[in-house]
Amino acid sequence: MLHVVFFARVKEQLDCASLELAWDDTLTTVDAVQQLLCARDGGRWGEVLGESNIIRAVNQTVVAGDAGVQDNDEVAFFPPVTGG
């Protein structure tokens, strides 16, 4: 099982804070998880998660899309953070 969490604007736009995905051997990278999620709700999720500046993390470490995921990992999606 993968625990997927969404933060800030991403959470608000999807109206979803978290979800569980059954892990299988097709979900071996962050990109694969993201592609699966982008197809949800008739592609509406793709509009949010398909943005080029979405930040992704596995087990609270920011990663690139080709990073591996394993059963029981946490995968997070959030917008870029700015400070001031």
Query: Which pTM was predicted?
Result: 0.92
Residue 23 included in any domain: yes
Only one residue has tokens 């800030």, namely 8
Q: How many domains does the chain have?
A: 1
Residue 83 included in any domain: no
Write out pLDDT tens, residues 12-54: 999 999 999 999 999 999 999 999 999 988 888 999 999 989 9
3-state secondary structure of 67: coil
Only one residue has tokens 């500046």, namely 53
Q: Note the pLDDT of residue 59.
A: 98
Non-local CB neighbours of 83 within 8 Å, separated by 6+ positions:
none
Write out pLDDT tens, residues 72-84: 999 999 998 766 5
Give all strands (DSSP E) within 1-84, no chain letters.
2-6, 18-21, 55-58, 61-63, 74-78
Q: Of the ranges 7-11, 34-38, 43-47, 59-63, which one carries the lowest mean pLDDT score?
A: 43-47
Could you tell me the sign of the dihedral formed by the alpha carbons of 39, 45, 48, 54, in that order?
Answer: negative
Residue 50 included in any domain: yes
Residue 84 included in any domain: no
Give all strands (DSSP E) within 7-82, no chain letters.
18-21, 55-58, 61-63, 74-78
| Residue 16 structural domain | 2-78
User: What is the C-alpha to C-alpha distance for residues 25 and 6, in angstroms, rounded to an integer?
Assistant: 23
Q: Note the pLDDT of residue 82.
A: 65
- The CATH number covering residue 50 comes to 3.10.20.30
